[in-house]
Structure 1
């Protein structure tokens, strides 16, 4: 053995003291340390994100398709297999933007799932979600976008704040009114008109930027807490109905579903107000919790609405008993392709890259 140098003990003591000081300088608990890892891309949102009815299905309980826009984006960037690769999809049909919105699942809940899987972290570059269509707004009888759309488009159902539903119409069996062309139903409803509908239906004035910001902020804040380097891309809704002033359209023989000019005026105004409120909310959230981007689908989907037939980005209503099948009024395969293109552009600008 080599003989011990007299200074060796002092050197070891100094080294141990330095290590102890470094340890004492660390945070008191691991919870104070920033999260690590994370997937490059995380998808959240409602049925317009998940893609119900589009085969093949990834998770039936959420109507989550393997060909939804998140899957297309992941494929375009070469992110590998969902969950096992560099991306994860937690979108689920029926989800609302916020909790306590009358739905069993919210985007905030989905963020919790992603956190549990350690999918959100500093490595996350893009988080997308479409949401708001299932949220209640002001407590009216017809208070969610999707409910209003299905009620108005179902043939024989008078809808909107300008309509008056008469007692005779209210006494008719639902299965009969659903088979009547909307023109006939309007005539029936005009007989012995009942209470004014103004207070029962969601109106454009209800969809304010302040209310929209309040609905979107909890999700954006929760994402930002875990994925500080991510761009949050809020994906809008494509056109479902044609612009106001259009003639309208209907299912075969006018049965099952129809859109008349009055319904189009109401629905187009409602969806336009939603789009304006969401743009304003995203601008505010980008200012206070950015980067937050808006993916505009209303503009590029002009001319590709429900009345455009095979050129539409959304599926026509398909009757199932007294209601519509789940993929009715939702993005079609071609619609998902177009939506994915718009999302890819934002994801690329946000720094999502092929490895």
Structure 2
């Protein structure tokens, strides 16, 4: 369960040491053979909740239960497609430092320790938690399309508190902390897995551009009459019109920084931001990203977000998988 204003797990648990071998899921489709990465090759999946399939069914319990990793995540699907030996060490809430040097949970080594000179494929999605971008987005839930936001006393929008005197706090973090974190992570992966192809998957659109925002805005309230009994609307989108525009810009900046870092490191970047604008969490038809559903398991004393809020749903993960598959084929087919 997630605390209000947070998209990431917080509990700490003991964990096994890397690597954690996992068989790929059974599939009726034949394994696709790659010349550069033969079936049975070692594949290590790194990254945060957008890699881990947070909110999907079939939890693996790995590296620890609190990571929210699912056997339906894109790494498991990639391993099944190409017949690879998967070490999936993705974990919700991971930052760049959790990949390279940090111990995210008690007993959990840095993700990079799963890599070696026998690793043939590495995938990752990372960067959003370095500046707490998605946690910040979760704190921007609003009462109406014009505000106020829940987390700010009388604040009409998150932008009104995050942009002061023309300086964007999130933007500044992206250009400094996030950029440095991603660059350092990619360099460390290169060193730890010198024989691996590396695929860096970006984040899908959560907040759409103007062309894919309805004329009346995206706002769908997270509260209704059922709230009095603890029942909340499913897949709501409780963001002000101002914050949809602002947070779209934040996502664009994050995507640009990640793409530049990948290019500098000579890593294949899979940009899914532009191609998912019509399928953001704002979309009411076949979105790739889940909206917000509140939960009051604590009897309205504390309002939490249901797992998977503002994360890729099953449809979205299938799309991300196709994009990563295409990148892997081009690198090793």
> What are the residue-to-residue correspondences of 1:1-355 with 2, within 5 Å?
39-59=41-61, 60-79=65-84, 86-99=85-98, 105=104, 109-112=110-113, 114-115=114-115, 120-122=116-118, 124-136=119-131, 144-152=132-140, 154-156=141-143, 181-183=144-146, 185=148, 189=154, 198-199=163-164, 202-208=169-175, 211-244=177-210, 246=213, 247-251=217-221, 257-286=237-266, 292-321=267-296, 322-351=303-332
Cα deviation for residue 88 of structure 1 reads 1.3
Greater RCO (CA < 8 Å, at least 6 residues apart): 2
CA contact (8 A) 1:70 1:89 kept: yes
Give the aligned partner of residue 7 of structure 1. none
CA distance in 1, matches of 2:188, 2:163: 37
Pick the structure with greater CA Rg.
1
RMSD of aligned alpha carbons: 3.1
Gaps of 5+ in 1: 1-37, 80-85, 137-143, 157-180, 287-291
CA distance in 2, matches of 1:190, 1:222: 41
3-state secondary structure, aligned to 1:215: helix
Task: Specify whether residues 207 and 338 from structure 1 end up closer, same or farther in structure 2 by C-alpha distance, changes over 3 A only.
Answer: same
| CA-to-aligned-CA distance 1:275-309 (integer Å, 9 cap, x gap) | 111111111111xxxxx111111022120001112
CA contact (8 A) 1:64 1:92 kept: yes
3-state secondary structure, aligned to 2:284: helix
Give the aligned partner of residue 9 of structure 2. none
TM normalised by structure 2 equals: 0.69
Task: Specify whether residues 261 and 280 from structure 1 end up closer, same or farther in structure 2 by C-alpha distance, changes over 3 A only.
Answer: same
Cα deviation for residue 266 of structure 1 reads 0.6
3-state secondary structure, aligned to 2:288: coil
3-state secondary structure, aligned to 2:146: helix
1 or 2, which has the higher helix percentage? 1
